[in-house]
A and B are shown apart, each in its own frame.
Chain A
Amino acid sequence: MSDVSYIRRPNRVLTVYAYIFLIVLYLPVLSIPLFAFNDSIYVRFPLQGFTTQWFVQLWERESLWDALGNSLRVGFFVAALSTALGVLAARAITRTRLPGQSAIVAFVMLPIVMPGIIFGVALLVLLSRIGIPLSLYTVTLGHMIVCLPFAIATLLPRFEGFDKSMEEASADLGENGWFTFWRVTFPIVLPGIVASLLLTFTISFDEVIMAFFLTGTEPTLPMYIWSQLRFPREFPSVLALSTIILFVSFIMVFAALYIGRMGLQKNDR
C-alpha cells in the first residue's frame, strides 16, 4: 500500500517530459544572455571570453534611451487604461445579466487568438482613411486591443471568486454603488488589478507587430531593436538589451501570476 493517493503518485515519465519541455522551450532563450556577455561581435561558438562592454555601450546610446522612454510611456498608459476597462468589463460580465453574454465575452476575448498582423493592418488602413497621423497614441491604441482581453482574463476569476452578497451587504449597510465599489469591491479584487497592470504592461512593452504598423517617428524599444538588427556591429548590444528586457519581463510576469493568485483560495472558504 502506498501512502499517497492514486492521483498524487509520482509519475517518472511525466516528470522527465516536463524537464525536456522546459529545456527545449528555454535553451534558445538562454543563448541570448550567454552571448550578451561574450567578447566578440559574432554570435558563434566557441565563446571568446567574458565582457560587459556591450552593456556599457548601451548606456551611452541616446536614441536607445528615447525608445525606452517611449515604450515606458506607452506601457503605463496601456496598462492603466486596459486594466480600468477590464475592471468595468469583468464587473459587467459577472454582475449583470446581459442578453447574448457568452457571445459578447467570446468577441472580447478574440484578439488573443486573432493574428496581430490583421489588427495591425486593419488599424493602419482605418487610421490613414480618417487621416490620423501615426504616433505613440496610435501605438497605444493598438496595444489596448492586444492587452484588453488579457486584462479581462486576469480580472474575471477575481470577480467570479467573490460572493456577490458582499456588495449587497454593503448596499444594505447604507453605501451606494460608488462607495460600495471603493470600500468593498476594489479592495477584494485589488490583487487581480495589480496582476493585470503588470501583465498588460509587460505585453505592451514587448509588443512588435502592432508597433510595426502603427509607429510614427518615435520608435518603441522593440522597434528600435528591430531597426538595429541591420547593423552587424550593433548586434551584441542588442543582445545585451534583450537580456535586460528578458530579465525584467520574467520578474514582472511571475509577480503578476503570484499576486493574481494571492488570497484566491482564502476568499471562497
Chain B
Amino acid sequence: MTPSESYISIRNVGKKFGDFEAIESISMDIREGEFFSLLGASGCGKTTLLRMLAGFETPTRGDILIDGQQMNDVPPFERPVNMVFQSYAIFPHMNVRDNIGYGLRRLKLPRAKRNDMIDEMLELVQLQGYGDRRSDALSGGQRQRIALARALILKPKVLLLDEPLGALDKRLREQMQVELRRLQRSVGITFVFVTHDQEEALTLSDRIAVMSGGKVLQVDTPDGLYERPRTREVAGFIGSMNFIEGKVLSRVNGHATLGLSAFGEIQVDAKQIGFVEGEAVPLAIRPEKIELLKEPSEGAVPGSLELKSYHGERSYFQVRVDGCDDLVSVSTQNAGRAKLRALEEGAAVWLKWRDDAFIVLDKN
C-alpha cells in the first residue's frame, strides 16, 4: 500500500463560536505517515482545528475525512485518533501503568496481553521501571512521555499533539524534540502537531501549515517556508527578514529588471508571474544572504553600521543605508570572522548580494 496523499482531508472547514469566527475556511490534505505541524500565534485557530480533528469541536461547515472516512458526526471516543494534551491530562488517581493502559479496557484483552502492551509502551517512551509510580509524583518530561504512551498504545491512525513541549524548559524541550522525531519515525503514525514555536516546527516537521486569523497562509516543507515564503506575513513569521519594495523597470525574455532605489537594480526570473512595467513588487531578503564588507567593492551598496549584536554562533548587524527608512539587518556566521565583529558602531560598511537571494512576494 502506498502512503495516501490525502490521509486526512480537510475540506472548506469553518468554525464559529457565537459571532466569533475562529476558522474561516480551510482546505488542506495531510499525508499518511507525515509529521505535520500547525504553526501560528495564539488565537490563530490552530488548536481549534486540532480539536475538530479530535472531535471535541464540531465544524460549523465543511467536512473532515480521515482515511476516507467522514468524521463530522463521529464522537471523540469512536475516532481513530488520539491526542496528547497541552496539560498532558494524566489521571492523578492512577499509577503510570493504569494511565497508559486506560484505553485498553474496551478491547477486553487478557491480562497478560495487556501487561505486555503496557511494558512495550513503557520501553518505547523509556520509562521502564516507572510503571508502579504514582502519576502525580512525576516530572514534566515524564508526564509527557506517559501522555504519549497512553495515546500510542491504541495504535491510532493519527496522533494529535497540542503544544506538548510548551511546558518544558528549553533543554528538556530540545531533547524531547529529538525523541518525538525518533518516535514518529519508529511508529510511522501520522502526527499532527500544534505549536507557536517556529523553530520547533522547522526542526520537527515534514510539512508545516502557517496559520493566522483563522486562515492557512501557506502549507509547505520547512525549507520551502524559509526559502520561498509566499507572503509578507509568512516571511515575517518564520525567521527574520528584510522587506524592500521594488519597481519593475523592464521585462525582457522572461527576466525582469527591478529598481530598488537605494539598493540599485536586480534581475529576477519573471516567467510565471505577470510583471508589468512600472508596477511595484514586494521583495524580501534574509539577513544571512547579504554579505557585509569592510571595503567598497564592485556593485556593493554603502551604508553605516548602526547596531551590532552577538548571538553566539551568529552576529547581527543593523546597517543604515541612505535613502532607505528601515535598517537593513545582516547576519554573519561567527566562524573566523573576528574582523567583522571588531567593527565599531558607526563604521562605514558595504552590502552585497546575489540577485537570486531576493524573494518575490505575493502582493496583498
Contact = CB atoms under 8 A, between A and B. Distances in A.
Interface of A: 163, 165-166, 168-176, 179, 183-184, 187-188, 263, 266-267, 269
B151 interface: yes
Given A168-B56, A169-B83, A174 B89 contact: no
B76 A172 contact: yes
A174 B154 contact: yes
A173 B75 contact: no
A188 B93 contact: yes
A163 B87 contact: yes
A143 to B, nearest CB: 31
Interface string B81-110: 111011101011100000000110110000
B214 to A, nearest CB: 21
Given A165-B86, A175-B77, 11 more contacts: A169-B83, A172-B82, A172-B151, A173-B102, A173-B150, A174-B78, A179-B105, A188-B92, A188-B93, A267-B92, A267-B136
B154 A173 contact: yes
B64 interface: no
A174 B91 contact: no
Contacts of A188: 91-93
Interface residues of B, number: 25
B89 A169 contact: yes
Interface string B51-82: 00011100000000000000000011110011
A56 to B, nearest CB: 47
Given A170-B102, A173-B82, A173-B150, A165 B89 contact: yes
23 contacts: A166-B89, A166-B91, A168-B54, A168-B56, A168-B85, A168-B89, A169-B85, A170-B102, A172-B55, A172-B76, A172-B83, A172-B151, A173-B82, A173-B102, A173-B154, A174-B77, A174-B78, A174-B106, A174-B154, A176-B77, A184-B91, A267-B92, A269-B136
Interface of B: 54-56, 75-78, 81-83, 85-87, 89, 91-93, 102-103, 105-106, 136, 150-151, 154
Contacts of B85: 165, 168-169
Nearest to B150: A173
A171 B89 contact: no
Q: Is the interface of A mostly helix, strand, loop or mixed?
A: helix
A175 B151 CA distance: 13
- Among B55, B56, B93, B154, max chain A CB count under 10 A is at B93
Contacts of A269: 136
- Among A166, A171, A173, A176, max chain B CB count under 10 A is at A173
Nearest to A180: B77
A188 B90 CA distance: 12
Contacts of A263: 92
A170 B87 CA distance: 14
Nearest to B56: A168
Nearest to A162: B92
B105 A175 contact: yes
Given A173-B82, A174-B154, A188-B93, A165 B87 contact: yes
Nearest to B54: A172
B92 A266 contact: yes
Contacts of B86: 165
Given A163-B89, A165-B87, A188-B92, A171 B75 contact: yes
A158 B262 CA distance: 65
Contacts of B77: 171-176
Closest 7 CB pairs of A and B: A173-B103, A169-B89, A165-B89, A171-B76, A187-B93, A165-B85, A171-B77
A175 B79 CA distance: 11
Contacts of B106: 174-175
Contacts of B154: 173-174
